[in-house]
Chain A
Amino acid sequence: KQEVTQIPAALSVPEGENLVLNCSFTDSAIYNLQWFRQDPGKGLTSLLLIQSSQREQTSGRLNASLDKSSGRSTLYIAASQPGDSATYLCAVKSNAGNNRKLIWGLGTSLAVNP
């Protein structure tokens, strides 16, 4: 059974720092992995989607990497800003059988302090 773990659960950094959020999954047979952002009182917004054949995806100051063999993904945020404060969720879609659902981590709550 696929399980997704995110470390750390919470992170507080000063503005301007580069930071890394981690996501690990137990079954490497994944179809893709996705990073989402959730702001308080708002829904989830997809940030980056990495297909199983890809190693990384970039969008602005965000870079997500995928290492299927080790069951890990990282989300790198460069030059963090207070506006980056949010909860970041990782979700994987398994490649096994008829399992079509996204399997979610608990998220990392990020606070970027001015």
Chain B
Amino acid sequence: ETGVTQTPRHLVMGMTNKKSLKCEQHLGHNAMYWYKQSAKKPLELMFVYSLEERVENNSVPSRFSPECPNSSHLFLHLHTLQPEDSALYLCASSQQPYQETQYFGPGTRLLVL
């Protein structure tokens, strides 16, 4: 067990739905990340949070809205998604931002219909 949990593990949603992905880390880390993993594409870093403050937003569409209420929890709120947003969404944490030693959760497999 990596110490990073994600729920739900699988999600199917329509383009008009609103849903949220949740990530929790039990490692006492200060930094948390959202990544998108699509078929045939490298991992894409979406957001980085350091002590609940967003430090990076990689030109992610506004239909993805992150929230970090405390250093152990990270959410990704989804609304009016497109089919091309279907992917595996991975959460990770590290002791400090941008450290190489990142611990990943198992991911949420998202399908947008």
Q: Could you list which residues of chain A lie within 8 angstroms of chain B, going by C-beta atoms?
A: 4, 32, 34, 41-46, 49, 89, 91, 93, 100-106
Interface size on B, residues (CB 8 A): 20
Contact present for A100 and B4 (CB under 8 Å): no
Q: Which residues of B contact A101 (CB under 8 A)?
A: 45, 98
The minimal Cβ–Cβ distance linking A107 to chain B, given in whole angstroms, is: 9
C-alpha gap A105/B9 in the complex (Å): 24
Contact present for B107 and A43 (CB under 8 Å): yes
The contact of B90 among A4, A43, A45, A46, by CB within 8 Å, is A43
In the complex, number of A-B residue pairs with CB atoms less than 8 Å apart: 45
Q: Could you list which residues of chain B lie within 8 angstroms of chain A, going by C-beta atoms?
A: 2, 4, 9, 40-43, 45, 90, 92, 97-98, 100-107
Contact present for B42 and A44 (CB under 8 Å): no
C-alpha gap A30/B97 in the complex (Å): 18
Contact present for B45 and A43 (CB under 8 Å): no
Q: Which residues of B contact A45 (CB under 8 A)?
A: 2, 104
